[in-house]
Amino acid sequence: MVQRVGIDFGTTNSLISVITRAGLAKCFDDTGRPHPSVVRYEGEQVICGKKARDKLEKLGIGVLGNTVRGPKKLLGSEHINVDGRIMTPVEVIADYIKYLVADADDSDIDQIADLTRAVVTIPVALDGRGRQTLREAMLNAGVYVETFVHEPLAALYGYFKDQPNTRDVLAYYDGKMVLVFDWGGGTLDLTLCKIVNGSIVQVLNRGNNLVGGDYLDDAILSHVTDEHARKFGWSAESKLPTNPGMRAKLITQCEQAKITLSTRDKTNIFLPNYFQGTDEESEIDIWLTRETLESICNRLINQGIDEIDSLLDKADVDPQTLALCLATGGMVNMPVIKNKLTEKFGVSALHISEKGDRIISEGAAWIAHDNLELALAKPFELAEARNSLLTVIHEGTRLPQRGESIQKQQSMYCSDPRDGKAIFTFKRPQMVQKSAAADPRTNYGSLVVEVNPDFPPLEERIELTITIDDNLILHARAMAEDFREPAVEEYYDLEFSLVVKKAADDPIEKKNRLRQAVKKSGPAQLFVRANVTNDKDRWDTVPGELLKDYNAKYVYLQKPMTRVQNEEDVRYQPCSGCGAKWKKNCCTAGSVTG
Partner 1 sequence: MTGIENEIAEPKSNDTEKPKQSKAEPKSVEQILTEAFAITTDKDQNIKPASVTKADLKSLMTYQQDTRLSSELADSITAAACKTDPELKVLSLITLAAFKCQRDVLRHELMAFCVRLASSLWIQRHRGSLDLYRDIMDADKGLDSSPLTFLRNAITEQYRKRIDSVGRQASEAPSPSTSNAEAKEPTALDVLSKKELAAQRNNILLIGALWLMAQGKTDLNAAIEFFSGLLNEQTSPTQSPRAVAVFLAEQYANQDSLLADTIDYFKKQFTELAGQQKFLQSKHNAQEVELKVLQTEVVKQITAIADKDQQIARLMGEVEQLKLAQHEQQLDERATRTHLRDNAGQAKAKAFNLLTEDVLEPLKLSLAALQREKPKTEVAVHQIELAVESIERDIKWFSE
CB closer to partner 1, 26 vs 378? 26
Three-state SS for 384-411 is CHHHEEEEEECCCCECCCCCCCEEEEEE
Quote the least distance from Cβ 100 to partner 1, whole Å: 17
Q: What is the CA radius of gyration of the chain?
A: 29
Judged on CB neighbours under 10 Å (0-12, 13-18, 19+), 401 is: middle
Least distance from C-beta 15 to partner 1, angstroms? 13
Tally Cβ neighbours within 10 Å of residue 375: 18
SS (H, E, C) 96-129: HHHHHHHHHHHHCCCCCEEEEEEEEEECCCCCHH
Where are the alpha helices (H) located in 163-212, listed in sequence order? 166-172
Helix (H) or strand (E) holding 567: helix 563-571
Beta-bridge mates of residue 465: 409, 477
Q: Are strands 461-468 and 324-328 parallel, antiparallel or unpaired?
A: unpaired
Residue 454 sits at the vertex; the CA angle it makes with 449 and 458, to the nearest 5 degrees, is 65
Closest to partner 1 by CB, 12 or 260: 260
Positions that interact with partner 1 (CB under 8 A): 1, 20-22, 24, 26, 29, 31-33, 107-112, 260, 263, 267-268, 270-272, 280, 283, 285
Cβ-based nearer residue to partner 1, 132 or 242: 242
Structure letter (DSSP) for residue 163: S
Provide the minimum distance between the beta carbon of 305 and partner 1 in the complex, in angstroms, as a whole number: 29
| Beta carbon nearer to partner 1, 281 or 568 | 281
Other CB atoms closer than 10 Å to residue 152's CB: what's the count? 30
Backbone torsion region of residue 265, taken as left when φ is above 0, otherwise alpha when ψ lies between -120 and 50, otherwise beta: alpha
Q: Between residues 333 and 435, which has the closer beta carbon with respect to partner 1?
A: 333
Please, which residue, 267 or 415, has the CB nearer to partner 1?
A: 267
Least separation in angstroms between CB 260 and partner 1? 7
Sign of CA dihedral 317, 319, 325, 330: positive
Shortest separation between residue 20's beta carbon and partner 1, angstroms: 4
* Residue 471: C-alpha distances to residues 115, 183, 360, 363 (Å): 20, 24, 19, 19
3-class state of residue 571 by DSSP: helix
Give min distance, CB of 527 to partner 1, in A.
Answer: 57
* Nearer CB in complex with partner 1: 263/558: 263
Using the minimum distance from each CB to partner 1, give the nearer residue, 286 or 392: 286
Residues 27, 21: Cα–Cα separation, whole Å: 14
Q: How far is the CB of 145 from partner 1 (least distance, A)?
A: 24
- Closest distance to partner 1 from the beta carbon of 114 (Å): 13
Write down the least CB distance from residue 2 to partner 1, Å: 9
Nearer to partner 1, 276 or 321 (CB): 276
Q: Coil, strand or helix: which one is 56?
A: coil
